[in-house]
Amino acid sequence: MLTIAVTGATGAQGGATARAALAAGHRVRALTRRPDSPAAGALRELGAEVRHADFDDHTSLDAALTGADALFAVTTPFGTDTDTEIRQGRALVDAAAGARLGHVVLTSAAHADRGTGIPHYESKWVIEGHLRASGLPWTVIAPAAFMDNYAGGWTLDGLRTGTFAWPMPSDVPLTLIPAADIGAFAALVLQRRDDFAGHRLDIASDTLTPAQIASALGTAAGRPITHEEVPHAHVRSHSEDLAAMFAYFTGKGLDVDVAGLRRAYPEAGWHTFAEWAAGQDWDALLDG
């Protein structure tokens, strides 16, 4: 049994990792800036120890990591910026080094090691470098595009009108993964440190084109949904970062060896997109 500190524990990836680690019988220390939030309360009910931690408060990080065996680390620029993400990521790695943790599993982004030019991929690559130089036993897992994004935000707005509005041509494949699979794989990596330490792995659960995604969403929701390609210029008017990401997805492509991962790590319980979509409450999402 390990004591695993989990950052971003009230978010998608951290929450999924915390739940998977608890299900595997480990002690989970859920780190959050808002220990009184409903999401933190839900983890507490599952058996997690909830601790306050703020990436910009070194004292809180040091206290939260003291006595832990391992760390699941997630950083994000969304809500701040990439400079802030890098600063906070470095602070987290430094705190982990100070606590002499036995393993740090950092979640990054698939292809972040390939010079994509996507700002929020490049910031993660900088943090990866800081982790590799820290002297800590490390593993980087690098998820592909998140399936969970298709059940919220501007994508959900389009689905309510029967349109899967997505900034890619209908026939260009994209690799995808749900947060639940990221958490399950992270828990596996944490359990098997000796097998994974020093490795960087791009991970994904399925590969579909936007046309296939629209079809699967329509089947799961029980209503017609068709793909409509959103111009990159429209995305750029809202975010240069996301526009760069979709340009990369369309041009270079976000390929990940899905079949190889399924063969090598079946215990991760990989979900197809259709399986993920079938698990969503589309009536509540689309009619709410």
Predicted pLDDT of residue 74: 95
CA distances from 166 to 107, 174, 224, 232, 234 (A): 25, 12, 16, 10, 11
Predicted pLDDT of residue 26: 97
Q: Taking the model in full, what pTM does it have?
A: 0.95
**Phi, psi (deg, nearest 5) at residue 32:** -155, 150
Q: For residue 237, how many other CB atoms are within 10 A of its CB?
A: 10
CB-count exposure of residue 156 (10 Å: 0-12, 13-18, 19+): middle
* Rounded-to-integer distance, Cα 60 and Cα 62, Å: 6
For residue 114, give the 3-state DSSP assignment.
coil
Q: Which of 155, 96, 91, 163 is nearest to 126 (CA)?
A: 91
What residues in the chain have per-residue pLDDT under 70?
288
Predicted pLDDT of residue 287: 87
Structure tokens at 148: 């969970």
122 CB-near residues (< 8 Å, 6+ apart): 82, 112, 116
Predicted pLDDT of residue 277: 97
HSE-up (13 A, CA, CB side) for residue 260? 6
For residue 166, give the 3-state DSSP assignment.
strand
